[in-house]
Structure 1
């Protein structure tokens, strides 16, 4: 059964009927206070600013930590580099000392090697009368059969490492034998020595010693240091 309320609003209030809420029409704007809108916008902006502030602070903290770590690494690496340079300097000094010791050691046994090689190479019926060091046979005018020194305006020939000039010891050997064959054998044996090279005959003469025919000779040779294995 359909009932229609024909009472007016004052009569409805008297009868106890509650008024129904009316919906706003589509053409009307909602009545929102402007201070409320401004407050909401301000809160949003404030929240964004706070978020950006804390984000930047966290980022700055991370960058500061990285910078501190990089500074610590730089200090540690700087100390390591300083130690490495000190070690390299010490190694260079030690290498120079070792080289000086080796040079002195090689020169200390030079004449021992020379005399040993002469003794081992000397054949029978051959005697040595003198063994003299000649540092520069080319400049010794008294040495027969040697080449003259180059002129002053002409450059001296280069000396290869391991040659007589590089070693700095040349010797002149004089002696007596009975035949040229024995002298040749003596020179060949000297050439086969690892400590002597450039063995050459300066001269040989026949003479009489105590009524015996002998051959006097003079040789030159250069001392060389064999390479260490």
Structure 2
């Protein structure tokens, strides 16, 4: 037997009720799967946002680091230039110092022998004379020399020795040798007696005695 529902709207209400019933019968795992999908999407979006932020921040830091490296390179080049110029200046100063020292040494010995001979001649008595004077060596500040001469007697030799020691520029005077000489004279006169001697000393030009001391004179007073 075939039954037909002739009431209006009966078919639509049946379809709606069946849809609600099927939705009520939907399993729980489908809802859980939809939640995982949403969460995964949120994670993907968050990762994309974080990656974009890190990329932008990294580019900014890279620009800052590049600027700092460029500034450091310029500073290093400038410092290297200054150091090179300083070393060149130090080398020039050392060269000038060496030249000045050489000039001072040459200037200090320019009048060595005139001054030395003047001191020796000042100490030499009338009863003695020189045969030879020679330079033995020249140290940093003193010049060692030897004097060979003749004297009439030992008193003249002693006076000459004392005169050398009294000089402000001669020091360490010592007697190396002495010899008694007899010189024959033609005729009936007796032979002459002479003494040969060799002295050694050191000459040093001290700056404290290089300047002349001038006497002080009173200034006249005018009315």
The alpha carbon displacement at 1:35 in A equals 7.2
Query: 32-41 or 79-88, which moves further after superposition?
Result: 32-41
Q: 1:49 aligns with which of 40, 51, 55?
A: 51
CA shift digits 1:148-181 (9 cap, x unpaired): xxxxxxxxxxx9x5598xx4x533331434x423
In the other structure, the counterpart of 2:85 is: 83
In structure 2, what is the Cα distance between the partners aligned to 1:214 and 1:106? Answer: 41
- Unaligned stretches of 5+ residues in structure 1: 1-26, 137-158
Moved more, 47-56 or 28-37: 28-37
Mapping for residues 38-117 of structure 1, pairs under 5 Å = 39-117=41-119
Matched residues in 2 for 1:113 and 1:40: separation?
107
Structure 1 residues 50 and 113: CA distance shift in structure 2, 3 A: same
Greater helix share, structure number: 2
TM-fit CA distance, 1:79: 0.8
Residues 168-220 of structure 1: CA deviation (Å, up to 9, x unaligned):
x533331434x423321321332354335343243243667998966443323
Q: Which structure ranks higher in relative contact order (CA pairs < 8 Å, sequence separation ≥ 6)?
A: 1
* Aligned-partner Cα distance in 2 for 1:67–1:221: 73
- Give the aligned partner of residue 134 of structure 2: 133
Matches within 5 A, 1:195-214: 195-205=170-180
Deviation at 1:59, TM superposition (A): 1.7
Whether contact under 8 Å (1:180, 1:215) holds in the other structure is no
| TM-score, normalised with respect to structure 1 | 0.58
Which of 149, 155, 158 pairs up with 1:184?
158
Q: Is the 8 A contact 2:134 2:147 kept in 1?
A: yes
Shift in CA distance, 213/163, structure 1 to aligned 2, threshold 3 Å = farther
TM-score, L = length of structure 2? 0.60
Unaligned 5+ segments in structure 2 are 1-26, 209-223
Query: 2: CA distance between counterparts of 1:209 and 1:77?
Result: 86
Q: Tell me, in whole angstroms, the C-alpha distance in 2 between the residues paired with 1:35 and 1:206.
A: 136
Would the aligned equivalents of 2:154 and 2:195 in 1 still touch at CA under 8 Å? no
Contact 2:161 2:173 in 1 (8 A): no
**Contact 2:130–2:147 (CA<8 Å) still a contact in 1?**
no
Distance 2:72 2:112 in 1: 59
